[in-house]
Amino acid sequence: MRCSLAIILLFFLTQGTVGDVYKFEDAEGRTLLTNVPSNGKGMTLVKRFRFSYAKPHSGGRAPVLKVLKDRIRKYKPFIMQAARDTGLDTDLIHAVILAESAYDPKAVSPKGAMGLMQLMPGTAKRFNVSDAFDPAQNIRGGTQYLQFLMKRFGNDLELVTAAYNAGEGAVEKYGRSIPPYKETRLYVKKVKDFMQQGMVAFN
């Protein structure tokens, strides 16, 4: 059967599974998403991709779609403002927040990272964030850090996201390349996938 993007997302977000999603264009140029490999006559396969989402980097379960959409709607103004202030792509900010905390402003990782963008205490202090659990401050600090990393690594998205995950020192240590850490490599891929597949801002 033909499924809407929301239904596909709901399944993956709640089940934490991996599956194929097929993007088609019909004869009138309309884009359709489906979980069925063949969509019949008059359909042209544009792209096939795999999407998975089990839980945010901070830990815990992935929220159901309704909760996620409510969170996105609530924090979107802060994200838009931060994008204007830093010049960052809003999709990048959304992707990092989705990967890090699934938009949970109270998230705390086992390593002590805090809030929506999972700021470590040192990073929060570095970017003048006095309360990492305040959404506006957290997003401001996290995006300022991303902006700093963009300048340091020449706008190389893979290196920037690797540094956000593992630290800029780790990227430098391995010759300005993605460190050979499984967690970091998976993180970089996840953020890129969220951006490229357009599955971040569900509003």
Residue 197 has phi, psi (to 5 degrees) of -85, -5
Question: What integer pLDDT is reported at residue 100 of this predicted model?
Answer: 95
The verdict on 69 and 20 lying in the same domain is no
CATH number of the domain that residue 96 is part of: 1.10.530.10
74-101 pLDDT, tens per residue? 999 999 999 999 999 999 999 999 999 9
Judge whether 19 lies within some domain.
yes
Domain range spanning residue 33? 5-52
How many residues are recorded in the chain? 203
Judge whether 203 lies within some domain.
no
Tens-level pLDDT at each residue, the chain (203 residues): 444 454 455 444 444 434 455 666 667 777 666 556 655 555 555 555 554 455 788 887 777 767 888 898 899 999 999 999 999 999 999 999 999 999 999 999 999 999 999 999 999 999 999 999 999 999 999 999 999 999 999 999 999 999 999 999 999 999 999 999 999 999 999 899 888 765 554 44
Judge whether 21 lies within some domain.
yes
Judge whether 57 lies within some domain.
no
Judge whether 87 lies within some domain.
yes
Number of domains present in the structure of the chain = 2
The verdict on 25 and 108 lying in the same domain is no
Whether 28 is a known active-site residue: answer no
* pTM metric for this prediction: 0.75
The verdict on 106 and 159 lying in the same domain is yes
Judge whether 201 lies within some domain.
no
- Report the alpha-carbon distance of residue 110 to residue 114 in Å, rounded: 10
The verdict on 77 and 164 lying in the same domain is yes
The verdict on 24 and 106 lying in the same domain is no
CA–CA distance from 68 to each of 75, 98, 202 (Å)? Answer: 11, 9, 9
Judge whether 43 lies within some domain.
yes
Judge whether 173 lies within some domain.
yes
- Is residue 73 classed as helix, strand or coil in its secondary structure? helix
Q: Which of 25, 100, 168, 172 is catalytic?
A: 100
- Report the alpha-carbon distance of residue 1 to residue 124 in Å, rounded: 47
The verdict on 48 and 78 lying in the same domain is no
The verdict on 171 and 116 lying in the same domain is yes
The verdict on 175 and 113 lying in the same domain is yes
Of 135, 103, 105, residue with least CA distance to 201: 103
CA–CA distance from 176 to each of 37, 99, 123, 147, 170 (Å)? Answer: 40, 23, 20, 17, 8
Question: What integer pLDDT is reported at residue 26 of this predicted model?
Answer: 67
- Report the alpha-carbon distance of residue 186 to residue 105 in Å, rounded: 23
- Is residue 30 classed as helix, strand or coil in its secondary structure? coil
